[in-house]
Amino acid sequence: MRRVAITGLGAVSPAGLTAATTWQRVVAGETAIGPLRLPRMEDVGCPVAAQAHAFDPDAHFSAKRQTSLDRVSQFAVVAAREAVADAGFLPEDPGLAKADVVIGIGVGGMNTLDDSFHRIYGERGRGVHPLTIPKLMTNAPASQISMDLGLRGNTFAVASACASGSHAIGLAFRAILHGDCDIALAGGSEACITNGTLVGWSALRILSRDTCRPFARNRNGLVLGEGSAILVLEEWERAVARNARIYAELVGFGANADAGDLTSPDQSGAEAAMQRAMASAGLAPSAIDYVNAHGTGTLMNDIVESRAIRAVFPADDLPLVSSIKGVLGHCLGAAGALEALATTLTLYHQLVPPTANCAEPDEECGLDVVAEGARPASVRHALSNSFAFGGLNAVLAFSAWKPIPSAASPAM
């Protein structure tokens, strides 16, 4: 069986416009959640969000190119460019041209959709942009990455709500394992903070009005975020042969469906997904030192996930657990990808990020959620959990690999 190395990382997030700056704020537990800012400020029922305010499309794309790119695709392309550069590929590398592109999307081009509806309904029939459909379609970020970087491998989108990014990485992982490709760009992207989206989420009554506090006694809901994370996955021997920096090894993927409630998580489904990921990796529960939790900050989700973790792992040897959504918010289709990136860097640096905003951990959760700040720890193997609406679960398993120092991105 072939092996899969993670050799490149790229990100655009509320916490930073690169993987390194995002990681720095995640490790610092410095929240990027703040007052909501929209071009058309209306009462959307939620005053806060985690937005990538510093992102400037003019710094990355010509005015002409921007007419074909929704914000969700802009994020994805910029993160992909960084990931490829970070992996040390030369533009003329023939192997890179054959790379697959698999991108998870939760809701897609919502800025384009929201603007179009505003024109149609709010401005009494004003026409929409001729590229409206290509901009908002779910596969747009994957296609735009392929075109931007000249990648001609299997390119497609994955849509499984909040598990989309993890599913995308898992499918790309399997493609390399089974010899369908040698290189894949995989991850997720989301730009969902619009008037219409926020009104819809507010109707669910699960949004916090101040901040996200995963696993905290006083948690009161999730906060929407936006951004993208892209990982370069590469066949192990190929990566070693070109002396690539290997951040970590991707060793397992487990996915399933609860076949239950549309919005309520199911403990048995979460347990089975974690068990499948470990079985795929050939790892016993006792080998897992860290779990990057889905950890949304809602009352129900955190309890159900905590119970699932306690059921799967030895009671006397529970792994460290943390959620990074207190920093980044819940980035929907990009959440699993950003969390996979954070898990990868946890293994690379042997440093567990904290659960931000968790001043008083909920004793009912019964876990060490690293509430006091980032913690140096020996992390041999780790899981990254994504549990989505629709009862769709995806868990990735990672293993540490001795890092090779590189001047390419010293902050990481």
What residues are labeled active site?
162, 294, 330
Alpha carbons 27 and 183: distance in angstroms, whole number: 29
Sign of CA dihedral 220, 16, 400, 166: positive
Task: Indicate the Cα dihedral angle 37, 39, 40, 42, nearest 10°.
Answer: 0
Alpha carbons 170 and 298: distance in angstroms, whole number: 26
| Bridge partner residues of 382 (DSSP) | 290, 398
Q: Where are the alpha helices (DSSP H) in 313-356?
A: 325-328, 335-349
Structure tokens at 391: 């009862």
Contact call for residues 244 and 64 (beta carbons, < 8 A):
no
| Bridge partner residues of 249 (DSSP) | 5, 399
Contacts of 62 (CB under 8 A, 6+ apart): none
Contact call for residues 249 and 401 (beta carbons, < 8 A):
yes
- Among 268, 265, 259, 255, smallest CA distance to 298 is for 265
Give, in order, the Cα–Cα distances in Å from 249 to each of 42, 132, 344. Answer: 46, 39, 8
Alpha carbons 83 and 295: distance in angstroms, whole number: 26
